[in-house]
Structure 1
Amino acid sequence: MIKSIREAVSERRTIVNVVGVLVLLAVVAPFIIVGVPQLAGASQSHVVLSDSMSPTFESGDVILVEDVDPASIEEGDVITYADGSGERTTHRVVEVVERDGERQFRTQGDANDDPDGDLVPASAVEGRHTHTLPYIGHVVLFAGSRLGLALFVIVPGALLAVSEVWDLYRAWKRAEGDDDTTDRDGDGDSTGARAAGNGAPEPTEDD
């Protein structure tokens, strides 16, 4: 009976551990992809900072972008490009324009009423949008703030240091207790030997 109960408890613990690992992977995996977008077949990842492409993706989402040959970009594609200052924008191509022998793109945010003012040259295109990771950008931006740095780096580091000190203290106390036990055991053996000696029968003249 007891054995069957132990086996049932052990089985439940195994199930809980497996579920826990799966949940952990589900939580951690998106952040791994943000850091290494190549795992999802993309070349870059970017945090969305505005709602100009709503409802396709929203501010606080993370988008994945793949390298693409500008010649393959068509109307309807969502592209990421950099302007002269290096600022990145991700908007939808609403028109492909051939001008002065160069392929250019007229873009517009899905939430905007009008197209962007300037055409995007092919040389400014960084990639094409492939996937969206909702809400992950909020965590990424928070982690980069002072408070986020404290919560995700400083506090865990301090807790780890406290844990290490506590483990060392417990090990020291355990070793000290073992020494005391050894001393007490040694004293008991000596006393027992003396008692045995005192209790031994005295030789008699008959012997």
Structure 2
Amino acid sequence: MIRSVLRWGGNILTVLLVIFITFSIFAMFHAKKNPNNVPSIMGYKPLTVLTGSMQPILDPGDMIVIREKDPNDVKAGDIITYRIDQDTLVTHRVVAVIDEAGGLSFRTKGDANNTEDQDLVPKERLVGALAFNIPKGGAIADFAKTGKGFILFVLVPIFLLIALELKTIWTELSKGKKDSSQPKDPMGV
């Protein structure tokens, strides 16, 4: 019983790990094809935190997953990711929502920074809002993109999963052969 639960738990963890790594690899290839567009899967976008401006909430090396959000639904206190230029994204907290004749914009500040960001963020630069973060997930995803990481996080779990399934099949086939090779008592005794 315990062995079966552990095997199922291991299989579930392996599948989740393969999905996580596949998601990261998909994001990497998509980002290389179109560097101006953050890859999205069902509205969720994975990013890696590079600086400590949002510590202690977000540390460098954490993976954040942002979700697309209507700019009209952003409120003070939300953590948003926005584009400051073609190649640079920033994730900071909204300290004020400004709705003027020129349009909607946001005043932001990194939690670890002493001052608010100098420029307002127009709603057109909003990429999304923080859905959740995975501590050190970005570092793991970056390692998984290397040759050694791909082998460790993708190929090894896949081979282990296949080996476990082949062992299970072999065991079941062996049981079947033993059952069929035993002579049956014609008297049914």
Alignment of 1:1-207 (within 5 A): 11=1, 13-25=3-15, 27-31=17-21, 34=24, 38=41, 42-144=43-145, 148-153=146-151
- Asked whether the equivalents of residues 21 and 144 of structure 2 are also in contact (C-alpha less than 8 Å), the reply is no
- Asked whether the equivalents of residues 30 and 133 of structure 1 are also in contact (C-alpha less than 8 Å), the reply is no
- Asked whether the equivalents of residues 143 and 149 of structure 2 are also in contact (C-alpha less than 8 Å), the reply is no
> 1:115 Cα deviation (Å)?
0.7
> 1:80 Cα deviation (Å)?
0.7
- Asked whether the equivalents of residues 64 and 131 of structure 1 are also in contact (C-alpha less than 8 Å), the reply is yes
> 1:98 Cα deviation (Å)?
2.7
> 1:12 Cα deviation (Å)?
5.5
Change (3 A) 1:130 1:19: closer
Change (3 A) 1:151 1:77: closer
The number of residues matched between the two structures is: 142
Q: Deviations over 1:59-114 (max 9, x none)?
A: 11111111111111111111110012330001000111234421111100111111
Instruction: In structure 1, give the amino acid aligned to 2:150.
Output: F
Instruction: In structure 2, give the amino acid aligned to 1:72.
Output: D
- Over the matched positions of the two proteins, sequence identity in percent amounts to 30
Query: Could you list the runs of 5+ residues in structure 2 that have no partner in the other structure?
Result: 28-39, 160-189
- Asked whether the equivalents of residues 42 and 64 of structure 1 are also in contact (C-alpha less than 8 Å), the reply is no
Higher relative contact order (Cα pairs below 8 Å, separated by 6+ residues): 2
Query: Could you list the runs of 5+ residues in structure 1 that have no partner in the other structure?
Result: 1-10, 161-207
Task: State the TM-score, normalized to the length of structure 1.
Answer: 0.59
- Asked whether the equivalents of residues 42 and 130 of structure 1 are also in contact (C-alpha less than 8 Å), the reply is no
Structure with the largest fraction of helix: 1
- Give the secondary structure class of the aligned counterpart of 1:20: helix
Q: Deviations over 1:132-168 (max 9, x none)?
A: 1111111112233xxx3245259x69xx9xxxxxxxx
For residues 90 and 123 of structure 2, the distance between their equivalents in structure 1, rounded to whole angstroms, comes to 14
Change (3 A) 1:100 1:55: same
Structure with the largest fraction of strand: 2
> 1:25 Cα deviation (Å)?
3.9
Structure 1 ranges of 4+ moved more than 6 A: none
Task: State the TM-score, normalized to the length of structure 2.
Answer: 0.64
